[in-house]
């Protein structure tokens, strides 16, 4: 029994696992050893050959520098004798090459004596003499299929290269030895791996089975099933862990039942809130976000959970989580883009224990875009009205003060001052009338007196009025349909729209220019347009010309008597008629103001 208890100990199991790991490490070390052995054998072989080649180079150099008499043997004979004595089992052939002519002076291969006296073509020989260093490579002999080591070493005398020694050695024996060693090592490795595998299977049955059982229990708990229990296999550490796991399961079942009720309450509250709510843990990471908050921030719940709240709100560069904990006032989050304004207000509340320990942070988001937009428009409107009234009032006061100071008695100056005062008064009256009209149109009970009107005749009649009263040299071009087009409109309001648009076209048309008037039928609408050949409107101002008090050229507009409200009034009138108004322009080419009106195509005899 003691023996069984000993082997059931987790410590013994860990020791056995470490033994197996050491065995695997030995295999890795063995591979490294074989690799190093191969490198060492190859290096020793090459070093041995190189030492013999150095000795041969010394003897060859002595023969090449020796002064010869007619009685002495030739250089080729002397080198041939030296090479015949240099023969060895592991050397296939040795050649000696003269430096200048690259002529082969001798070879150790008896069957290859025909190459003596010929010029060598080996590139490696030339490289070794030019670079004055050894050139070697291991390659396959095409005749035998075995590996050979080709070496070319220069023969130097001082700084002068006399020639080169070209050697071919049989290095296949080194690789044959390594192949034998690798075969032995592979067999040993296979045996070791087999033993390791058998031991691993035996140990896995004793260690992995209870752990796998606990894994199944954990998965079941994750799905909400707390009825399953882990089997206890023994009294060792894993058995104790299984017992503790079962106790934990019971406690979690009780806690889960309690928290589920609280979660349902909280979920119900968050679901019916119109404001966005974000909750974080004590490190500032998002742990809860409701649907309104995801819609306000245009994010998904999956992507923001566990993310820092400062990055979710886009405050990385300006605020830290500690700053939000200390934030007492509301924080304005401006997400406005070129497409439009978008502003949120964030209120923060810190979650703290009684001890003062911070558990997290709750952020409540309110969409205040419309409120901010209304406030901005109100401020801008008041500023514009004040500015528009200040200018004529200042002018009138200056001229009236001059008249009061005695200018009224000057018959040349007084009429001019009075005329300016009258003009500015009329301008203020027009401004006030335009403001009153806009105020009426903004009211809820604003109504139109609509009648069915043949818009072609109506439009043509208004153009006639301008053509008879125009003072500029401007040509009118009409592109109107030949048939009647009946539209239900408020004739007075539509006259005001066309007067505003045509007046602007005349104001900005150059002498000799042309204004084109057109009506087109497009689906359920008619498109009415006025095109001039004036200076045009800059691209950045094109979308703003229908705003109240907006002027492209403020100085010229005031000089021509404009209030900056004409196109704004036209926009409101077209809007209440169920249509749209827009502008197209190219600087220096002209401007087109066009608007659409709802239109139902009918047969002409219905109106007869």
Architecture of domain 273-366: 2-Layer Sandwich (3.30)
DSSP structure class, residue 544:
G
| Same-fold call for 12-170 versus 273-366 | yes
SS3 content of the chain, % helix, strand, coil (to 5): 55, 20, 25
Structure confidence at residue 473 (pLDDT): 86
> Model pTM?
0.38
| Topology given in CATH for the domain delimited by 12-170 | Beta-Lactamase (3.30.450)
pLDDT at residue 555 greater than cutoff 50: no
pLDDT at residue 435 greater than cutoff 70: no
CATH class of 373-442: mainly alpha
Q: Which residues of 157-177 are buried (b: 16+ CB within 10 A; e: fewer)?
A: eeeebbbbbbbbbbbbebbee
What 3-state class would DSSP assign to 533? Answer: coil
Mean of pLDDT over the chain: 78
pLDDT at residue 268 greater than cutoff 90: no
Structure confidence at residue 15 (pLDDT): 54
- Which residue carries 């090592």 as its tokens? 185
Domain 450-606: assigned CATH number: 3.30.565.10
Instruction: Name the residue ranges covered by the structural domains of the chain.
Output: 12-170, 273-366, 373-442, 450-606
pLDDT at residue 343 greater than cutoff 50: yes
More confident: 534 or 262 = 534
DSSP string, 210-264: HHHHHHHHHHHHHTT-----PPP--SSHHHHHHHHHHHHHHHHHHHHHHHHHHHH
Structure confidence at residue 310 (pLDDT): 87
More confident: 262 or 283 = 283
Find out whether 22 and 154 touch, Cβ atoms under 8 Å. Answer: no
Least confident of 14-18, 97-101, 362-366, 457-461: 14-18
pLDDT in tens, 405-418: 777 777 777 777 77
Q: 360, exposed or middle or buried, with CB in 10 Å at 0-12, 13-18, 19+?
A: buried
* Cα 218 to Cα 313: distance, rounded to the nearest angstrom: 35
Structure confidence at residue 387 (pLDDT): 60
Element (H, E) at 525: strand 525-531
User: For residue 561, what pLDDT band results from cuts at 50, 70 and 90?
Assistant: very low
Structure tokens at 574: 């077209």
Q: At what angle do helices 566-576 and 491-507 cross, to 10 degrees?
A: 150
Least confident of 155-169, 536-550, 583-597: 536-550
Mean per-residue pLDDT for 110-131?
83
Structure confidence at residue 594 (pLDDT): 92
Q: 30, exposed or middle or buried, with CB in 10 Å at 0-12, 13-18, 19+?
A: middle
pLDDT at residue 275 greater than cutoff 80: yes
Beta bridge partners of 334: 343
% of residues, the chain, pLDDT over 90 = 6
């Amino acid at each position: 029994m003691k023996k069984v208890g000993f082997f059931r100990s987790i410590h013994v199991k860990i020791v056995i696992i470490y033994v197996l790991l050491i065995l695997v490490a030995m295999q890795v070390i063995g591979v490294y050893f074989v690799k190093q052995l191969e490198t060492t054998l190859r290096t020793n072989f090459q070093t041995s050959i190189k030492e013999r080649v150095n000795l041969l180079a010394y003897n060859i150099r002595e023969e090449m520098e020796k002064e010869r008499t007619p009685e002495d043997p030739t250089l080729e004979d002397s080198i041939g004798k030296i090479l015949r004595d240099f023969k060895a089992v592991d050397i296939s052939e040795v050649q000696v090459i003269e430096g200048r002519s690259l002529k082969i002076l001798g070879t150790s291969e008896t069957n290859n004596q025909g190459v003596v006296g010929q010029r060598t073509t080996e590139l490696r020989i030339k490289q070794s003499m030019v670079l004055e260093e050894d050139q070697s490579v291991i390659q396959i002999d095409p005749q035998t299929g075995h590996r050979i080591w080709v070496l070319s070493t220069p023969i130097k005398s001082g700084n002068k290269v006399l020639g080169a020694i070209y050697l071919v050695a049989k290095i296949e024996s080194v690789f044959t030895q390594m192949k034998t060693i690798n075969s032995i090592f592979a067999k040993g490795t296979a045996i070791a791996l087999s033993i390791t595998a058998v031991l691993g299977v035996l140990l896995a049955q004793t260690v992995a089975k209870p752990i796998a059982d606990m894994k199944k229990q954990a998965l079941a708990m994750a799905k909400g099933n707390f009825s399953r229990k882990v089997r206890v296999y023994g009294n060792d550490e894993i058995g104790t862990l299984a017992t503790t796991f079962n106790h934990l399961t019971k406690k979690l079942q009780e806690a889960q039942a309690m928290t589920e009720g609280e979660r349902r309450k909280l979920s119900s509250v968050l679901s019916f809130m119109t404001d966005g709510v974000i909750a974080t843990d004590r490190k500032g990471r998002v742990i809860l976000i409701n649907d309104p908050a995801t819609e306000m921030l245009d994010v998904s719940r999956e992507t923001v959970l566990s993310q820092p709240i400062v990055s979710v709100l886009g405050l990385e560069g300006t605020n830290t989580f500690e700053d939000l904990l200390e934030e007492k006032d509301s924080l304005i989050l401006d997400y406005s883009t070129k497409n439009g304004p978008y502003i949120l207000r964030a209120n923060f509340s810190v979650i703290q224990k009684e001890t003062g320990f911070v558990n997290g942070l709750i952020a409540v988001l309110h969409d205040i875009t419309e409120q901010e937009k209304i406030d901005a428009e109100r401020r801008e409107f008041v500023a514009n009205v004040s500015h528009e009234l200040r200018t004529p009032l200042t002018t009138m006061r200056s001229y009236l003060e001059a008249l009061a100071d005695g200018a009224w008695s000057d018959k040349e100056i007084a009429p001019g001052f009075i005329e300016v005062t009258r003009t500015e008064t009329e301008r203020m009256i027009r401004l006030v009338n335009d403001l009153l009209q806009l105020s009426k149109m903004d009211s809820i009970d604003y109504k139109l007196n609509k009648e069915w009107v043949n818009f072609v005749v109506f439009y043509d009649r208004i153009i006639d009025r301008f053509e008879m009263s125009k003072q500029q040299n401007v040509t009118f071009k009409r592109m109107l349909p030949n048939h009647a087009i009946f539209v239900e409109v408020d004739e007075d309001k539509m006259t005001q729209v066309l007067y505003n648009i045509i007046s602007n076209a005349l104001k900005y048309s150059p002498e000799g220019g042309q204004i084109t008037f057109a009506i087109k039928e497009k689906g359920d609408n008619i498109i009415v347009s006025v095109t001039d050949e004036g200076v045009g409107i800059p691209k950045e101002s094109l979308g703003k010309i229908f705003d109240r008090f907006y002027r492209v050229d403020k100085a010229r507009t005031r000089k021509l008597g404009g209030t900056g409200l004409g196109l704004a009034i036209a926009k409101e009138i077209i809007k209440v008629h169920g249509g749209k108004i827009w502008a197209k322009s190219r600087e220096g080419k002209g401007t087109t103001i066009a608007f659409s009106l709802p239109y139902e195509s009918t047969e002409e005899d219905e109106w007869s």
